[in-house]
């Protein structure tokens, strides 16, 4: 449900993030499937994602690089745009076109940088070209959203500026659904996999308001997985040390401008 600006109370946000936990107990069965199962079984976890064709994407300057190994981190961003009260699908599509235009024409990139975008109305849009086929195949499209870590991190842009405010309930619901889907496909533990842009680069992104909600996002994602009958892996991570978040300092005076919210491409990309 979309909540008008100024009315998305802490209580309602907490309800969205923890609601899945209320029914999770019934799904904690001994026969629950492990994450990273058969593609057909995991397809049921996928939320509605609007394709590039549906939002009117321009042709990319070149095809995206697709790696056989999936990502080990899901990076949460905010778009650093206004907290719009237009929750329509058409607005979400226009937002993706605006981001792509900025990334291609101003930044000079081959395509839009992130793999997925979620509007304040909760509409999920495919980002960089080849993203959806790569996810379905368990692979990873290399984007441009978190400097020096694009080879192993998938980026989700969330519409709005959350330096002090919090996202709408509709956006949070879709973010939980998206994170659960990605964790299921790639066999990731939400407690380890879901991070913020500022965990890797010197930036305030995704804003204090959204960043402080990441622990609840992780627990809400785990609860959703359990309601789907999927067991969240508890094993220790087997990833290179270079992939782990560095938690750099967060600037106190970062200038927030539309679509500019910190380093996106680095020397290692």
pLDDT digits over 171-212, tens only? Answer: 999 999 999 999 999 999 999 999 999 999 999 999 999 999
Kind plus residue range of the DSSP H or E element containing 195: strand 194-196
- Beta bridge mates, 73: 153
Question: Rounded to 5 degrees, what angle do the CA atoms 155, 159, 164 make?
Answer: 105
Cα separation, 183 vs 229, whole angstroms: 13
| Alpha helices (H) along 38-168 | 39-42, 52-55, 89-101, 131-136
CA dihedral 226, 232, 234, 236 (to 10 degrees): -160
Pairing of strands 124-126, 116-118: antiparallel
Does some domain include residue 244? Answer: no
Structure-token pair, residue 88: 């329509």
| pLDDT at position 17 | 58
Does some domain include residue 227? Answer: yes
26 pLDDT above the threshold of 80: no
Average pLDDT over residues 135-140: 96
237 pLDDT above the threshold of 50: yes
Does some domain include residue 161? Answer: yes
Lowest mean pLDDT among 26-30, 84-88, 178-182, 238-242: 26-30
Does some domain include residue 266? Answer: no
Cα separation, 69 vs 178, whole angstroms: 19
C-beta neighbour count of 34 within 10 angstroms = 11
Please name the residues in contact with 191: beta carbons below 8 A apart, sequence gap of 6 or more.
218, 219, 222, 232
Binned at pLDDT 50, 70 and 90, residue 41 comes out as low
Task: Give backbone dihedrals phi and psi of 150, rounded to 5 degrees, phi first.
Answer: -70, -20
Please name the residues in contact with 236: beta carbons below 8 A apart, sequence gap of 6 or more.
none
Does some domain include residue 44? Answer: yes
CA dihedral 88, 91, 92, 95 (to 10 degrees): -170
Does some domain include residue 146? Answer: yes
Cα separation, 148 vs 70, whole angstroms: 17
Task: Provide the residue count of the chain.
Answer: 269
| pLDDT at position 32 | 40
Please name the residues in contact with 197: beta carbons below 8 A apart, sequence gap of 6 or more.
75, 76, 77, 145, 146, 203, 205, 206, 261, 262
pTM greater than 0.85 = yes
Structure-token pair, residue 71: 């990502």
| pLDDT at position 234 | 73
| pLDDT at position 3 | 35
Average pLDDT over residues 16-41: 43
9 pLDDT above the threshold of 50: no
Residue 101 belongs to domain spanning:
37-56+66-232
Does some domain include residue 259? Answer: no
Cα 188 vs. chain centroid, distance in angstroms? 14
CATH number of the structural domain spanning residue 114: 3.40.80.10
| pLDDT at position 232 | 87
Lowest mean pLDDT among 83-92, 152-161, 230-239: 230-239
C-beta neighbour count of 241 within 10 angstroms = 5
Does some domain include residue 14? Answer: no
Average pLDDT over residues 252-261: 84
Cα separation, 188 vs 70, whole angstroms: 10
DSSP-derived 3-state class of residue 219: helix
Domain count, the chain: 1
Binned at pLDDT 50, 70 and 90, residue 28 comes out as very low
246: exposed, middle or buried (Cβ count in 10 Å: 0-12, 13-18, 19+)? exposed
């Amino acid at each position: 449900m979309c909540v008008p600006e100024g009315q998305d109370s802490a209580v309602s946000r907490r309800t969205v993030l923890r609601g899945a936990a209320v029914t999770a107990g019934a799904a904690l069965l001994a026969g629950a499937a492990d994450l990273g199962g058969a593609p057909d079984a995991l397809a049921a976890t996928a939320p509605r994602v609007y394709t590039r064709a549906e939002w009117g994407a321009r042709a990319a300057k070149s095809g995206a690089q697709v790696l056989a190994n999936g990502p080990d981190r899901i990076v949460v961003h905010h778009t650093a745009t206004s907290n719009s009260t237009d929750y329509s699908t058409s607005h979400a599509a226009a937002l993706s076109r605006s981001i792509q235009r900025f990334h291609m024409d101003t930044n000079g990139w081959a395509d839009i940088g992130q793999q997925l975008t979620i509007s304040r109305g909760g509409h999920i849009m495919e980002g960089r070209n080849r993203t959806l086929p790569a996810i379905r195949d368990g692979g990873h499209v290399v984007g441009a959203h978190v400097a020096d870590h694009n080879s192993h991190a998938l980026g989700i842009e969330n519409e709005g500026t959350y330096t002090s405010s919090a996202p709408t309930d509709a956006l949070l619901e879709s973010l939980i659904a998206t994170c659960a889907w990605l964790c299921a496909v790639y066999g990731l533990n939400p407690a380890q996999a879901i991070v913020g842009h500022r965990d890797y680069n010197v930036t305030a992104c995704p804003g204090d308001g959204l960043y402080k909600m990441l622990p609840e996002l992780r627990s809400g994602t785990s609860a959703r997985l359990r309601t789907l009958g999927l067991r969240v892996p508890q094993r220790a991570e087997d990833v290179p040390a270079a992939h782990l978040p560095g938690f750099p300092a967060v600037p106190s005076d970062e200038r927030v401008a539309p679509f500019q919210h910190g380093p996106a491409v680095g020397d290692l990309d």
